[in-house]
Structure 1
Amino acid sequence: MPRAPLRRILVLDDFGNAAPGSTDWSGLPVAFLDQKLDEDALAARIEAEGADAVVLIRERSAFPASLVRRLPGLRLVVTTGMRNRVLDLEACDAAGIAVCGTPSLPSPTVELTWGLILALARRIPQQERLLRQGGWQQGAGLGLEGATLSIAGLGRIGAGVAAIGRAFGMRLLAWSPNMTAATAEAAGAELVDKETLFRRADILTLHLGLGPSTRGIVGAAELALMRPGALLVNTARGPLVDQPALVAALHGGRLGGTAIDTHEPEPMTAGDPIRQAPNTILTPHLGYVTQQNFRQYFEGTVECLRAWNEGIPLPRPLNAAAKA
């Protein structure tokens, strides 16, 4: 069945105004929104613009069934990347809305993970602030060679993190609910049980997907297993960690520090208690935010939009409506 060309396209949540310069949008009726809107405001804006296509930058704005039902004029959703846990694909299918994904790179999150590990282990932010205040070195950081890196999850990102850990000469332990010994061995890691992963870690880094079985998988009991001074890094999903338990562990002084790139909600609220916790490095979900990755995202987005307008099969379809 022929498709009418798109009348209006909205790119949502382009906080850093990265999308316009990342690819050639010429000929497309596109507008870029640079602020996050709640569901009511987002529905009103999409309707007011007469938008029949929206572009989601990762999981910045949720697109649940309740929102989909309020958008009878919507025909196409493009989500950057190939997975989006806050986009209801079944609701889109029921409404006849096609959903496409885009290419993405795993390396940006691997790189950020190691930036955070190094900054946390060597106390770079604290030492830099001290120097600017007229002081000099204070305390000693953790060297990586010979230290134990515990990795929860060995998908593309976790395996990439493991490869760099090996280059630093670290001992690698790995665990996830369904990990096999062969998977761990392929990454140069030793498969251990969950308790051992926490108990032996000098640095624990999280690379698990978020679902009912993993939400809060790092809680008070797990944090209590960690040796005094151990470090926790989370570039995966904020809700993997029970935040009140984490804040308590930081204030109690048992945990040596944490670096967190993912939060809930996002953007982080002004009163979030993690802001006041000691020994923290907090970044605003930068794991995927590189020029090269945005180029992948938005070149793939434009490919989907042009395919729609040209009436050819949509690349990287994510639901049945996109394959029709």
Structure 2
Amino acid sequence: MVTTLSCAVLDDYQGVAHELGDWKRLDGRVDVRFVDRHIPGHDELVAEIADCEIVVVMRERTPFPAELFARLPKLRLLITSGMRNASVDLGAAAAHGVTVCGTASNSEPPAELTWALILGLARGVVTEGAHFRDGGPWQSTLGADLHGRRLGLLGLGKIGTRVARVGAAFGMDVAAWSRNLTPERAAEAGVTYTASKEELLETSDFVSVHLVLGESTRGLIGAEELRRMRPGAFLVNTSRAAIVDQEALLRALREGWIAGAGADVFTTEPVPADDPLRTAPNFLGLPHLGYVTRRNYEGYFQGAVEDIEAYLAGSPVRTLG
């Protein structure tokens, strides 16, 4: 007799997971259900997925700390979109006999969204678009130029390098800094090597964050760093919220230390309705859309099906940890 396993696909906000993965390949072996709402509390989450041997998570929307693994004794396979998920305690997963697997992920979408934020801030797109719809003033903002201005990149990995290429196409002077960046690597990417974070912040008209969150990058941009930026400069963060001190950013916006900021990542997601950043002046926020494209989702959910099949065959692929 074949035993049918239970699988929950969490945080399917757009309700598209069922159509973007070939789940029928699991028929007769795995019963798959899709959860289209975010479940913030552990008690409610455990009640929802306690019967599941397999859980699929979308990026870091639902963290899996040690305490949660301890409350899910039936869980045997956890799949995350992408091959890195800092919100999953891999040590706890191993200790509880849970295999953790990932999927492929594309670096183009977050680089593209970075430019949506930069352009939106530079040309007052949200303000002008709202005025157009509600009959407000015709031309109320004065745009910031990109051509001839400096784009400073904190981090020059896959995403940062893609952002740099677009900046160069706009005729910007692109510079970069990170603790591990070398002049040779910067030259290879066609950008100006900056010896210090402070120099990058002081000389850039647009600063964009493209670093992995870790002990060395947590709080990397605080009040001191924001004060070093030019009053007419913009800060964009599409990496992780904790890299930028959120309280300092809020103060910088309210007191006009910088011209504006854009972010696609936040300390708590979904962002609470009363979060002060929602109404901060000159702030352009998006609901963590960097990776949210059809091509990425197709890769995530089809990859999840492949991960499940490989696990059932006794040969897990794309394992983490």
TM over 0.5: yes
Residue number in structure 1 paired with 2:198: 195
Q: Secondary structure at the match of 1:90?
A: helix
Residue deviations 1:112-155 (CA, integer Å, cap 9, x gap): 00111111111111111222232201231112111100000111
Residue number in structure 2 paired with 1:53: 54
Corresponding residue to 2:42 among 27, 39, 44? 39
Residue number in structure 2 paired with 1:322: none
Residue number in structure 1 paired with 2:7: 9
Residue number in structure 1 paired with 2:152: 150
Give how far 1:313 is off.
1.5
Residue deviations 1:143-174 (CA, integer Å, cap 9, x gap): 21111000001111111101111111110110
Q: Secondary structure at the match of 1:158?
A: helix
Residue number in structure 1 paired with 2:127: 126
Residue identity matched to 1:290: T
Q: Secondary structure at the match of 2:199?
A: helix
Moved more, 82-91 or 121-130: 121-130
Q: Secondary structure at the match of 1:169?
A: coil
Give how far 1:278 is off.
0.5
Change (3 A) 1:261 1:152: same
Residue number in structure 1 paired with 2:69: 68
Moved more, 179-188 or 64-73: 179-188
> What is the 5 A alignment of 1:111-260?
111-134=112-135, 135-192=137-194, 193-260=196-263
Q: Secondary structure at the match of 2:43?
A: helix
Residue number in structure 2 paired with 1:265: 268
Residue deviations 1:164-219 (CA, integer Å, cap 9, x gap): 11111110110112111122112211121100110011000001111122111111
Give how far 1:10 is off.
0.5
Kept in 1: contact 2:311–2:317 (CA 8 A):
no
Moved more, 157-166 or 31-40: 31-40
Change (3 A) 1:126 1:71: same
Identity, in percent, stands at 46
> What is the 5 A alignment of 1:79-90?
79-90=80-91
Aligned-partner Cα distance in 2 for 1:105–1:191? 26
Give how far 1:5 is off.
5.8
Kept in 2: contact 1:131–1:137 (CA 8 A):
no
TM-score w.r.t. the length of structure 1 is: 0.94
Aligned-pair Cα RMSD in Å: 1.2
Aligned-partner Cα distance in 1 for 2:309–2:11? 21
TM-score w.r.t. the length of structure 2 is: 0.95
Query: Unaligned 5+ residue runs, structure 1?
Result: 320-324
Give how far 1:231 is off.
0.4
Aligned-partner Cα distance in 1 for 2:283–2:191? 27
Corresponding residue to 1:278 among 272, 276, 281? 281
Moved more, 112-121 or 16-25: 16-25
